[in-house]
Amino acid sequence: EASVQAAIDATKEKFGAIHVCVNCAGVGSAMKTVGRENKPHDLGVFNMVVQINLIGTFNVARLAAAAMAENEPGEDNERGLIVNTASVAAFDGQVGQVAYAATKGGVVGMTLPIARDLAPLGIRCNTIAPGLIKTDFARALWQNPKLLASIERGTPLGRIGQPDDIGPIAVFLAADAGAYITGQVLVADGGMTSRAAW
């Protein structure tokens, strides 16, 4: 909490205000609820993932929103925008993703209440839920060509997402074109979570 507040204070000092906050907290864990030899999921690992992915996201959002609430309102009474990052795992968690999926489901679940809480202050909140994106977060996959090819075959658009598929969504939400969007979860996964319909 203290380090996030210090970062917000430093940002305000340098730029005068905070108008956009993009949260990209994310750590994963590959651990089943009950694993080999009937060993239960490590509760410390679960707690660590919750602390970073869910509580960390909320902590940054709440402190950034408090800073945004001090801004002079712009056109349409807007003072700021929060964009949180979830994952398609929130809707379609895989084996061994229980901690990750739970936290990203939590990020999805808090999107609308945060948006409703902050709307009277002129602050919007939305969430982006990416599918598999070719970043360092999933580095191990890029080293396994067979697995990568299998994932690409299972994606209706036939490819893995790139960072350039996600970043512009946040930019759109911050631009005038996205100024009437709040409380929404935008899924960008190449159609993976809708593949049953294909």
- Which residue among 18, 28, 71, 100 is the active-site one? 100
Catalytic annotation on 100? yes
Q: Are 124 and 118 in contact (CB under 8 A)?
A: yes
**How many CA within 13 A on the CB side of residue 82?**
33
Under 8 Å between Cβ of 185 and 129: yes
- Non-local (6+) Cβ contacts of 141 within 8 A are 132, 147, 148, 151
- Give per-residue burial for 30-56: e unless 16+ CB within 10 Å, then b: ebeeeeeeeeebeeeebeebbeebbeb
Could you list the active site residues? 100
